[in-house]
Amino acid sequence: MFVMDPRLLATLDAVVRLGSFAAAADELGYTQSAVSQQIADLERRVGLRVLDRRPVRPTAAGKVLLRVAGEVRAAMSRAAAELTALDDGRAGSVRLSAFVSAANSIVPAALGMLRATHPGVDVSLTQLETADSYDGLLRGDVDLAVTFDYDRFPQPEPAGLHRTRLCRDPVVVALPATHPLADRKSVRLADLADESWIGTPVTDAHLGLLAELARSPGFKQRLAFDGDDFRTVLSLVAHGLGIAPLPTLALADTVDGVVAVPIAEKPLVRFLYTCRLATARTPSIVTRVEECLAAATKDVIAY
């Protein structure tokens, strides 16, 4: 009977995730030859090929083992979290991840609160989008994450994670301050149907939805921006290059010459969450960081 060796599973995961034996060797601190030998050992134990070599991709057997590897990592992460929870939480470290607009608004305020009450706690912050944060939590690389999804595009947390809602974050329209509709309390989508829109990887799907709700054949995208920095989008708006749908939080760091106007139809809302491993015990310092994030959110955006 095949006996699972977590080390071999970790090597398989690294090879598939990074796309090469050499990259996996660098990450794991092995030689490339050692990685090759471990994969060969795994295949001998299983009695099946687990990888196609060119290009590197898992076989059907490899996919089974990768699923098991993920379950093993998640179980070990939960065990580590529960063991850490036995401490009093006055010192230690927290690995926090957050998406861009949370990382530059909510998170700094929250960490300032934490420093005042828990000066002995070290925090590392990594900018990650939601799917990558979920992966990081399950791999044990992240202790707590700030994530999001949209009411029209729900993205439930994976099994094994616990998510707590921080707030609602409605999508608004960023307009140049000189725009004829900039002084409105709200703007109807139909009034924007002929505008030039700035599209981003994050907002492209929104443009189609907004056009549908405005009963328009489609909003014109005059300028495409391939990036996730909303401040760049705001600068483009400020210079009159178009208008853009953005979550309210993206305008927390305001840019001169830009006005945020609510959408009258309120068609799209983003929800922000804190997310961590679902464990019987949670380290008290992780709970404290969650509390600081919730308090900071109230100062930045209304529920």
Q: How confident is the model at residue 4 (pLDDT cuts 50, 70, 90)?
A: confident
User: What integer is the mean pLDDT of 133-145?
Assistant: 94
CB atoms within 10 A of CB 267: 18
Please report the pLDDT score of residue 206 as a whole number: 64
CA dihedral 267→110→156→17, nearest 10 degrees, is: 120
Please report the pLDDT score of residue 74 as a whole number: 83
Amino acid in position 81: A
Using an 8 Å Cβ cutoff, are 198 and 242 in contact?
yes
Max mean pLDDT range (63-77, 159-173, 196-210): 159-173
Q: How confident is the model at residue 283 (pLDDT cuts 50, 70, 90)?
A: confident
Asked whether residue 254 carries a pLDDT value surpassing 80, the answer given is no
pLDDT tens-place string over residues 269-281: 899 999 999 988 8
Say how many CA atoms lie within 13 Å of 86 toward its Cβ: 5
* Average pLDDT, rounded, for the chain: 86
Please report the pLDDT score of residue 303 as a whole number: 46
Domains of the chain: 6-82 (1.10.10.10), 88-167+271-300 (3.40.190.10), 169-269 (3.40.190.10)
Give the whole-number percent of the chain exceeding pLDDT 70: 85
Asked whether residue 151 carries a pLDDT value surpassing 90, the answer given is no
Please report the pLDDT score of residue 16 as a whole number: 93
Please report the pLDDT score of residue 184 as a whole number: 92
Q: Which of 42-51, 116-125, 219-228 has the lowest mean pLDDT?
A: 219-228
Beta strands in 177-265, from DSSP E residues, in sequence order: 196-199, 220-224, 244-247, 258-262
pLDDT tens-place string over residues 52-85: 988 899 999 999 999 888 888 888 887 777 777 6
Using an 8 Å Cβ cutoff, are 139 and 27 in contact?
no
User: What integer is the mean pLDDT of 217-223?
Assistant: 60
CA dihedral 278→155→168→152, nearest 10 degrees, is: -160
